[in-house]
Chain A
Amino acid sequence: EAQVTQNPRYLITVTGKKLTVTCSQNMNHEYMSWYRQDPGLGLRQIYYSMNVEVTDKGDVPEGYKVSRKEKRNFPLILESPSPNQTSLYFCASSSEQGQETQYFGPGTRLLVL
């Protein structure tokens, strides 16, 4: 089954404790992205990757890091989480230079205390 998976689905952590949210897709897609969703602000792009070892900033990259060492994986790293990073996070992938459907993961709910 074609899918994008994220782990963990739910996470409660404390300010400053480094965390990683993993994202994996099994569709051999070149394009992968991370988004955060906040009430009243909708979904905003954090980072994207157009292929292995190619990443770039989206609209709200501050406080986040990503890596793309393998085509299927695109982890999101919060080196020193802060309460304003409490949000719902989505990973997505697509192929053909983004000219096709974006497939979204199930989301990760993060609470930073």
Chain B
Amino acid sequence: GIQVEQSPPDLILQEGANSTLRCNFSDSVNNLQWFHQNPWGQLINLFYIPSGTKQNGRLSATTVATERYSLLYISSSQTTDSGVYFCAVLFSGAGSYQLTFGKGTKLSVIP
């Protein structure tokens, strides 16, 4: 199956700092999403981004499908950004539908 690797596994930031999270995947995929899991366990959609660049406020994401990686940028981090960030890739076709998650990046933003 498809392998998804995220880095770094853990990240501690001072409030106001910027960061880049990376997601590498091992094969061509149909789509890619970034999620934020908050401290209460909820999974929140951040971006649906099979290719290209998207921005939403302080967050932006870029996926280079031909090179099999995606980046999530967090600017001017806030304590509410803390949690775990997951990348998930979808392979669908020939009767299968497999969504594979990376193991996540745990982000802690300290005041």
Contact = CB atoms under 8 A, between A and B. Distances in A.
The finding on whether chains A and B are genuine partners in a shared complex, rather than unrelated, reads: yes
B95 interface: yes
B101 A42 contact: yes
Interface string A34-67: 0100001111110010100000101100000000
B30 A99 contact: yes
A84 interface: no
B82 interface: no
Across the A-B interface, give the 6 residue pairs with the lowest CB-CB distance, nearest first. Answer: A104-B43, A43-B101, A101-B48, A42-B103, A98-B92, A42-B101
A98 B96 contact: no
A110 interface: no
Interface in B18-45: 30-31, 33, 35, 41-43, 45
B90 A98 contact: yes
Given A48-B97, A102-B99, 4 more contacts: A45-B99, A45-B100, A56-B97, A102-B88
Contacts of B86: 42-43
A40 B10 CA distance: 12
B92 A56 contact: no
Interface in B72-98: 86, 88, 90, 92, 95-98
B110 to A, nearest CB: 22
A97 B43 CA distance: 21
22 contacts: A31-B97, A33-B99, A41-B103, A42-B86, A42-B102, A43-B86, A45-B98, A48-B99, A50-B97, A56-B96, A59-B98, A90-B43, A98-B30, A98-B99, A99-B30, A99-B92, A100-B31, A101-B33, A102-B33, A102-B45, A102-B99, A104-B43
A106 B48 contact: no
Contact of A58 (B33, B92, B98, B103): B98
